[in-house]
């Protein structure tokens, strides 16, 4: 089966040729056909502090804004208006480094600063049709301590996004962590410190928007994010995704496929999940389970090797 799956991926993958934010969007343009009818597109990263996954997310945001009419970027885990970022990208005052330094740790990167700069420039050029930044911290800045609280945070993440979309009518890009953006109803996270099974934000968004919610999983095989991450165990989805070749790629999982491929896509699997607490010696313990690739995602981006995002240099040059 793996050989047939590998062949199908190779035949249908759209290769990603650059991670330069300002480069032409030719390589990510196939995404447009995948999201044309969407109201909410979720970009969920397996590791929030990866340069490659952040860079491809930036380029996809550009495509969705410039060519597909998306006008809101939801930053999961924080509220941009709290720190003045939405006002800044819409022409307000401030030092973007100083503003971003008040965000959650996983957004305090030079890659995010690049996106903030691009958004402000876009809005300067389109003052009557601007992009807004919003977000949600799930109603809690501290880590929830029970399954009920975890489920409530997920519901709040989704409800904040739904209310914003209904109030503005905007097409929305939701950028966050794969554990939250996948269509998990439910899914299991390990470790947490013990496996935690509950319904997530992506499943609430799917329930509200149906096929107008598109979930993209941004995955990687090995690297540093910023912890050293070895190759995954063979039962992980990334082990098969990697067999398709050395290049990063975008793959629509809804593409017509032979029966063996559809079976693989629908078979329960594990996908890696690198959070703020990660032990390389127990790599296999850090994963999402309880569903299949076809359950969780409409499309995936796969990067063979991830390298660390660049820590934000604060005003004055210090990190």
In a domain, 296, yes or no: yes
Q: Averaged over 275-291, what is the pLDDT?
A: 91
In a domain, 317, yes or no: no
Statement: residue 142 has pLDDT above 80: no
Number of domains, the chain: 1
Tell me whether the omega of the peptide bond preceding residue 15 falls within 30 degrees of 0, making it cis.
Answer: no
The HSE-up count of residue 23 (CA atoms within 13 Å, CB side) is: 15
In a domain, 314, yes or no: no
In a domain, 128, yes or no: yes
Q: Averaged over 285-293, what is the pLDDT?
A: 95
Residue 219 near residue 241 (C-beta atoms within 8 A): yes
- Averaged pLDDT score across all residues of the chain: 93
Report d(CA 180, CA 193) in Å as an integer.
17
Residue 112 is predicted with a pLDDT of: 97
Those residues with Cβ within 8 angstroms of residue 68's Cβ, 6 or more apart along the chain or in another chain = 32, 35, 36, 171
Residue 192 is predicted with a pLDDT of: 62
In a domain, 312, yes or no: no
Residue 196 is predicted with a pLDDT of: 87
Give 76-105 pLDDT, tens digit per residue: 998 898 899 999 999 999 999 999 999 999
Residue 310 is predicted with a pLDDT of: 97
Q: Averaged over 226-246, what is the pLDDT?
A: 94
Span of 32-36, 164-168, 314-318 with lowest mean pLDDT? 314-318
In a domain, 26, yes or no: yes
Give 160-219 pLDDT, tens digit per residue: 999 999 999 999 999 999 999 999 988 999 886 678 898 999 999 999 999 999 999 999
The CATH number for 289's domain is 3.40.1660.10
Residue 317 is predicted with a pLDDT of: 56
Domain of residue 161, residue span: 2-306
* Percent of the chain clearing pLDDT 90 (strictly above): 84
Element (H, E) at 59: helix 51-68
* Percent of the chain clearing pLDDT 70 (strictly above): 96
In a domain, 185, yes or no: yes
In a domain, 118, yes or no: yes
Q: Averaged over 210-238, what is the pLDDT?
A: 96
């Amino acid at each position: 089966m793996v050989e047939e799956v590998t062949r199908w991926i190779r035949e249908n993958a759209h290769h990603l040729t650059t991670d330069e934010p300002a480069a032409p969007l030719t390589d990510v343009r196939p995404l447009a056909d995948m999201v044309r009818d969407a109201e909410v597109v979720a970009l969920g990263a397996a590791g929030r502090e990866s340069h490659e996954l952040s860079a491809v997310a930036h380029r996809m945001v550009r495509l969705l804004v410039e060519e597909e009419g998306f006008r809101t970027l939801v930053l999961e885990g924080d509220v941009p208006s709290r720190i003045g970022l939405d006002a800044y990208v819409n022409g307000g005052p401030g030092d973007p480094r100083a503003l971003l330094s008040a965000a959650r740790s996983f957004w305090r990167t030079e890659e995010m600063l690049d996106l903030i700069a691009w958004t402000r420039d876009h809005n300067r050029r389109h003052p009557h049709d601007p992009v807004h930044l919003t977000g949600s911290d799930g109603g809690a800045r501290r880590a929830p301590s029970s399954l009920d609280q975890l489920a409530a945070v997920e519901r709040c993440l989704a409800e904040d996004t739904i209310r914003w979309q209904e109030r503005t009518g905007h097409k929305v890009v939701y950028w966050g962590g794969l554990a939250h953006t996948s269509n998990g109803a439910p899914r299991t996270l390990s470790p947490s410190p013990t496996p935690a099974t509950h319904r997530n934000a992506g499943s609430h968004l799917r329930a509200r928007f149906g096929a107008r919610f598109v979930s993209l999983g941004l995955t990687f095989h090995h690297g540093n994010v910023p912890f050293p991450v070895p190759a995954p165990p063979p039962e992980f989805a990334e082990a098969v995704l990697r067999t398709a070749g050395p290049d990063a790629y975008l793959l629509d999982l809804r593409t017509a496929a032979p029966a063996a491929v559809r079976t693989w896509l629908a078979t329960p699997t594990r996908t890696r999940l690198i959070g703020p607490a990660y032990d390389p010696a127990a790599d296999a313990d850090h994963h999402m389970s309880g569903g299949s690739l076809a359950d969780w995602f409409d499309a995936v981006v796969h990067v063979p090797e991830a390298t660390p995002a660049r820590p934000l240099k604060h005003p004055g040059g210090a990190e």
